[in-house]
Structure 1
């Protein structure tokens, strides 16, 4: 962002930044959509979480809403930049200042903080009096696609991203660590809405890996709405007993080739 603003006018720099955020989302979502929804849909149909495919009009609406989200996320990025140039953040550029160990630890910390924030905000906006204001747009995609990843109402996009400037006020972060975090976040978001489950059946029984959420986990949230609120991890859903009661059964039905274990979408 600093490079853009210093080499272009502010309006041009912001326009470029929005374009980068939106095109990055389109690029990765588009690749996965092309593979699994167009060219190889029959080859991987046994991995579909919901057997039906969403209509094209729904996907067009997802992309439309995602452009607004790209604008909001760019605005959050500008907030981070403004805080940084005024020396109000803990962003540092010298890797030796905290060492390589802390570099990777800081990525894990921000993921844990963001996951906790997301879980509780997510549950909060599912309240009947708040759902229509914040979360209805996202849940119009009951059968999500990779393009659903950014399909939010503007109000939801703001509250989901607002935690990031707050975190960097207190948590020392290298710009590369922040970049890695944003890419992990985008990856989880797209995979959570992919509509396919490619993980092995033993994944959710592994003592460590079981704490990482699967595509099935978030897809069921779109179907059932009142369960599976976590983003990256399953800590809070397990602790608060908000995992859907059929989550494991559904996951096994997709990941095992035993047709007798399949359940209705």
Structure 2
């Protein structure tokens, strides 16, 4: 990599900021305007946001974004030192396989980090994120710095064992925040309730915010099922909004 460190931090910070604000705004528009007008889906938790919640979430997320920007120096250093490399000659099938591998690793990494954050030594750090009892798309990066460091470490191990294409590596944060928005949208993107398959991720993470213990996974529920940490789908039905899809916002 030929960029100096300050440019790495600058461009990485801008990249994560763009991902956060664009996906947050798009998810908010979908769940508060377009989909309710279409009669598609439903709000999962009708409790109003706490006073100042959105401002707090955005402020904490800006701190996480800055930390992610500085954290980009780690993969930059791995590339500069020769401990990791980039595959410049690649193909569409290879990129697809790399995306699939990074997706599975992202799921496992998130589950392990999330489960760790619910242990007694680290629970106080994760409590910052759980101040959002009713999640929003802007909850996605609202972390304590310790949690941001843990979750931001996701590309390090894959880079040490394989030379990924730049497209796959740059696509990892995009994939991650899209999935994160799905989980924090407080909206079930399905005509039937409860949703099944990947669309059930919104309800599962809503249940995690409502119940706290359990549903530590991201999009997939396989690790929760294997570890016996699944929350029953109807555990927070008393918080569900009417089927009209309308929401209470700050």
TM-score (norm 1): 0.79
Check the 8 A contact 1:107/1:181 in 2, yes or no: yes
Instruction: Identify the residue that residue 130 of structure 2 maps to in structure 1.
Output: 139
Shift of 1:13: 5.3
Question: Hey, what's the Cα distance between the residues in 1 that align with 2:176 and 2:23?
Answer: 13
Computing the radius of gyration over CA atoms, which structure comes out larger, 1 or 2? 1
Select between 136-145 and 169-178 the one with higher mean Cα deviation. 169-178
Matched residue, 2:160 = 169
Mean Cα deviation higher: 74-83 or 145-154: 74-83
Q: 3-state DSSP class of the match of 2:143?
A: coil
Any runs of at least 4 consecutive aligned residues in structure 1 with deviations exceeding 6 A, and if so which? none
For residue 73 of structure 2, what is the aligned residue in structure 1? 78
Moved more, 39-48 or 219-228: 39-48
Question: Per the alignment, do residues 29 and 129 of structure 1 end up closer, same or farther by CA in structure 2, a change over 3 Å counting?
Answer: same
Alignment match, 2:233: 246
Cα displacement (A) at 1:88? 1.4
Q: Which runs of 5+ in 1 are unaligned?
A: 258-265
Match of 2:247 in 1: none
- 1:211-265 Cα deviation digits (max 9, x unpaired): 6752111111011110110012111011112110235995xx88x96xxxxxxxx
Contact 1:137–1:152 (CA under 8 A) maintained in structure 2 = yes
Q: Distance in 2 between matches of 1:173 and 1:202?
A: 39
Q: Cα offset for 1:34?
A: 4.4
1:235 aligned onto 2:226: no
Quick one: distance in 2 between partners of 1:189 and 1:167? Answer: 20
Q: What do the CA deviations read for 1:32-51 (whole angstroms, capped 9, x no partner)?
A: 324544x5697469710001
How many pairs does the alignment contain? 241
- The aligned residue for residue 89 of structure 1 is 84
Cα offset, 1:118, TM superposition: 1.4
1:150 match: secondary structure = coil
Aligned-partner Cα distance in 1 for 2:92–2:40: 42
**Structure 1 pair 100/23, CA: closer, same or farther in 2 (3 Å)?**
closer
Contact kept, 8 Å, 1:146 with 1:194, in 2: the verdict is yes
Q: Which residue is 1:216 aligned to?
A: 203
Structure 2: runs of 5+ lacking an equivalent: 244-250
Paired residues of 1:92 and 1:175 also in contact (CA < 8 A): yes
Whole-Å separation in 1 of the counterparts to 2:143 and 2:170: 22
**Aligned 8 A contact 1:217 1:247 in 2:** no
Q: Give 1:140-219 correspondences, 5 Å limit.
A: 140-201=131-192, 210=197, 214-219=201-206
Q: Which has the higher contact order (CA 8 A, sep 6+)?
A: 2
How many Å separate the matches in 2 of 1:15 and 1:237?
37
Name the counterpart of 1:113. 105
1:46 and 1:12, CA in 2 relative to 1: closer, same or farther beyond 3 A?
closer
Give the conservation status (yes or no) of the 8 Å contact 1:144–1:194. yes
Query: Is the 8 Å Cα contact of residues 111 and 232 (structure 1) preserved in structure 2?
Result: no
